[in-house]
Structure 1
Amino acid sequence: MVAGAILLVMAVALRPRFARLPDDRPVLRRADAPELFALVDDVARSVGTRTVDAVVVGDEVNASVSIYGLRGRRRLTIGLPLWEILTPQERVALLGHELGHYGNGDTRHGLVVGTALQSLGQWHYSFAPIPNPAGMQILVNLLYVLPRLFVRGVLMLLDQLTLRAAQRAEYLADREAARAGSTEAAAGLMDRLLIADSAVTALQREANQASLRGHGAALRAERPEHLWDRLAAHMESVPGHEYERLRRVGARRGHSVDSTHPPTHLRRTCLLTGPPLPAAVPTDAARERRVAAELAAARTAVARRIMRDGYQG
């Protein structure tokens, strides 16, 4: 019975971990943002896949899709700093790219492999050594060594087995981005990703200035959502030759075989090979205003958190 109890505890601890919706970030449902979901629906139809069940608004200069829950519901995460520096049509291309991971059968975004990667990552974190151990904690750290090495090995093996498919999936998703938003918009999205580090630096500078002024004073002095206007103005000030310089830097570095994302300059070159595609999901000013109104509360919340808590990128 003792051995059975130990195995039962291990089974509970090592059960598959299904992702959940976050509690610390704005989460939008269809009733909260019908126009945004209608846009996502249109993009999903253009790339041949079903739509998402929830939209999470984050503070990353990035966007992603994933599954959550036992039923494998779909979640789209929109990094507001990236969303805010894109043109309306580039935003459609961004949605096309992310939803394209579903449409092209990307294994890393599927229920089985995606959940396995999620579970292994959480197990690896659970077996992390206790910092500055004392007494029994030293023994616990020693006991964690072998399980942590085993989990890391399995995680690295699964990563390597799906690496080539993950890189191929990025090119296929870029094709869907061009189909949904147009080739021009997809190429513009690649250019914005090239200077993503500049957006991170700008947000860190804004957060540091707010800290120097005092968080309360900074938030009272101006509306937090003005942060996005300053970020957009900063990104527009980046000269064209900087994009070309970064493309040449990427070309000199060569292809990275150990990254899930191929170099951005190669993705852009692949997009521009062949005849340009028109937008399957064109946008208009009225729709953009309605989407912006639905995201207004999230814009304020994310901006306030960045200015209050700092920004790590």
Structure 2
Amino acid sequence: MRRTLAGRHGERLLAEVSAGGTLRPGKDRPALLAYGIALVVHGVTVALAVGGVWCVVGGWGSPGPVVSGLFFVALAWSLRPRMPRLPKDELLLYRTDAPALYGLIDEIAQVAGTRSVDVIAVDAAFNAGVRTCGVRGRRLLTLGVPLWETLEPQQRIAVLGHELGHYSNGDTRRGIVFATAYRSLAIWHYYLQPTEDPSPLEMVANLVYLVPRSLVLGMLMLLDQLTLRSMQRAEYLADSVAARAGSTEAAVAFLDRLLVADSADTTVRRESNKLRTRPRGTGRAEEWADGLWELLAAHMESIPEHEYERQRRVGARRGHSVDDTHPPTHLRRACLLVGAVTPAAVVTDDDREQRIAAELADARRQVARQIVRGD
């Protein structure tokens, strides 16, 4: 059902753009309904907290009400809205560490119509992403070194434009209210999971939990379906920001790079295994790891155009994946190629690229050595 609905929404959005329509940020009726359900979920959490306090205060001196009240308060505390924190196991770069890179991101943020990021994290994924951390709403941009090192300068601008575009395109799933409510429902579902190898008493409890667990699962599925079209629109809008920032050509090339992500991952693993198994006397593997990204970039440049075309055809035949959070790449690519070609609003030069490379040099070296060590 999810695949069918995802395909229907994706084709409808593509037809809308192809007919000359313009996708605009905003929340449609299903997204507003999902927002209302999220408020109800938070209302249940508040009711548990208030009811628990009332039981403790009103029943003080009686063990039954007090124990029940403390249980409700503890349950509400576990379900409370929580924002993700800054990662402690990733390399973090602040403005003083990479002023040139932050300056580039600031320019792209102006094109996207949003404010810039507060922290940059560097990891070993062939990907990039943004999220909001902490009660102060600090914006974290995560850059995967394997992706960054295989892109040309304008393609990197397109990637940054796409990620910043998520903050200005009305993506329901990235909103605090919805995201925290979805997490609360997931915790409810975890609490109501049936016990494996149950005793007779636990079998009765599993039967009692069946109805509320099914209700929670149904709400999770409903929220997923209600926000599906909004999620896809948000991706297309983020792609349009990528095209405005780095040019249509750069945005399309960036999407093509994603088609061969598996090949890049395989190459990194193969080369890192070679470095680990070098004969003794040829130097430590960590020392040879400094050339890992050059090997990856050379491999990506060697991929012929017909392989990209094959991947696009495979994606078109496969359609929408059930557990995929993005529309198919071939539809995103088609939306970018509809209409006039967009020139780049942000450009870079050799001097800026060299300064950014120098700021990321230590991070790229550390990530390469982590991969080789198998961390």
Is TM more than 0.5 here?
A: yes
Deviation per CA, 1:218-268: give whole Å up to 9, x if none: 744634231111111111111111011111222222355764311111111
State the alpha-carbon separation in 1 of the partners of residues 257 and 159 from structure 2.
11
Gaps of 5+ in 2: 1-65
Deviations 1:81-128 (A, max 9, x none): 111111010000001111111111211222222333455556767887
Match of 2:266 among 201, 204, 209: 201
Match of residue 272, structure 1, among 337, 340, 343: 337
Partner of 1:114: 179
Bigger radius of gyration: 2
Name which of 293, 312, 325 aligns with 1:260: 325
Residues 1:238 and 2:281 aligned together = no
Structure 1 residue aligned with 2:240, among 169, 175, 178? Answer: 175
Residue 89 of structure 1 contacts residue 185 of structure 1 at CA under 8 Å; is this kept in 2? yes
Three-state SS of the structure 2 residue aligned to 1:18 is coil
CA offsets per residue over residues 269-310 of structure 1, 9 Å max, x none? 111111111110001111111111111121112111111116
Query: Map of 1:51-62 to 2, 5 A cutoff?
Result: 51-62=116-127
Pair 80,197 (structure 1): closer, same or farther in 2 beyond 3 Å: same
Query: Which blocks of at least 5 consecutive residues in structure 1 are unaligned?
Result: none
- TM-score (normalised: structure 1): 0.87
The question of whether the paired residues in 1 share the 8 Å contact of 2:285 and 2:372 is answered with no
3-state SS of the aligned residue for 1:295?
A: helix
1:25-64 map, 5 Å: 25-64=90-129
Output the TM-score relative to the length of structure 2. 0.73
1:160 maps to amino acid: Q
Structure 2 partner of 1:228: 293
Instruction: Tell me the distance in 1 between the aligned counterparts of 2:288 and 2:190.
Output: 38
Matching residue of 1:67 = 132
Change (3 A) 1:101 1:307: same
Match of 1:19 in 2: 84
* Deviating more after overlay: 208-217 vs 242-251: 208-217
Stretch deviating more after TM superposition (141-150 or 274-283): 141-150
| Residues 1:77 and 2:148 aligned together | no
2:348 to 268, 271, 283: 283
Letter in 1 for 2:301: E
Aligned residues: 306
Question: What is the alpha-carbon distance in structure 1 between the residues aligned to residue 254 and residue 106 of structure 2?
Answer: 20
Instruction: Give the 3-state SS of the residue equivalent to 2:129 in structure 1.
Output: strand
* C-alpha RMSD of the superposition: 3.1
Indicate the residue corresponding to 2:52 in structure 1.
none
